[in-house]
Amino acid sequence: MARKGKVLVSRRGHSWTRDQLVQRFDCVIAEPDAVMAMDDDARASITGFATLMSPVTPSLIDALPNLEIVSSFGVGYDHVDAAHAAGRGVIVTHTPHVLDDEVADTAIGLLLNTLRELPRAEIWLRMGKWQSDGAYPLTPLTLRGRTVGIFGLGRIGLAVARRLEGFGVAIAYHNRSPRTDVTYPYHGSLAGLAEACDTLVSVAPGTKETRHAIDAAILEKLGPDGVLINVGRGSVVDETALADALTAGTIAAAGLDVFEDEPNVPQALLDAPNACLLPHVASASVGTRQAMGQLVIDNLAAWFAGDTPPTPVPETAALIR
């Protein structure tokens, strides 16, 4: 049976997705604080919410008495209180799969940039130093002979691992439980993985359990030639501990595409010459972002047509079953 109602669309976020939503559904475009100021009838008319990265808090969910579905833009959905939504009987969906390859490509690029200092070498050329000062200094780090540990061997982590195989490096991983479809060595703890590798690639989601999982102790286990790459969630890394480790030489370098308080990046990381920093661009190509937006639309369209949304999050998948 088809369902009816208005779709709340967050004002900030991916503009192509927002434009497509407006064409497809009866939409109300507003940020959460404006929703709280709506009258009761206006809030009661909203049955769907397309969040293009705006937070979906328990108070917002409770303010929408007839909310049925939250369709979130992005594979990570830590900005949505999915547990509270499930308790209210509200379906939450996200956009996995369609960005896996793009993020994995970026992770490899970020790793190479961090090890070989390629962005700094380009700046050297553009500033005329190649002509005035000679060749760019030899980089102390290389990918050759490294052991790469992947924290979070899900879809994206596996795509990263498959790409790394072509570089001839050793690969290991840590998950909550081992996978049965890979032969990479499994470590039952993050500490064990860090002890066994010199390069740690974090693709872990941002949860209460993973917050600051990569702390001073983990960084120390990587050793003075250690390198950290994070394309998962910024909250997984203790950024203060990381800045201290980079300054003290506890590890050699870090490459980050995500941060705990985006778009605010700690000054200590900005000042670190051995940190390669990107503004959360791992999935930021036109084609990939449009594919993510289309999945936001497809989840809503399926629900309002009376069908099963294609990509519910685990916390609310049981509501559909």
Q: Which residues are catalytic?
A: 233, 262, 280
Q: Say how many CA atoms lie within 13 Å of 65 toward its Cβ.
A: 8
What is d(CA 321, CA 70) in angstroms, rounded to the nearest whole number?
A: 17
Find out whether 292 and 74 touch, Cβ atoms under 8 Å.
Answer: yes
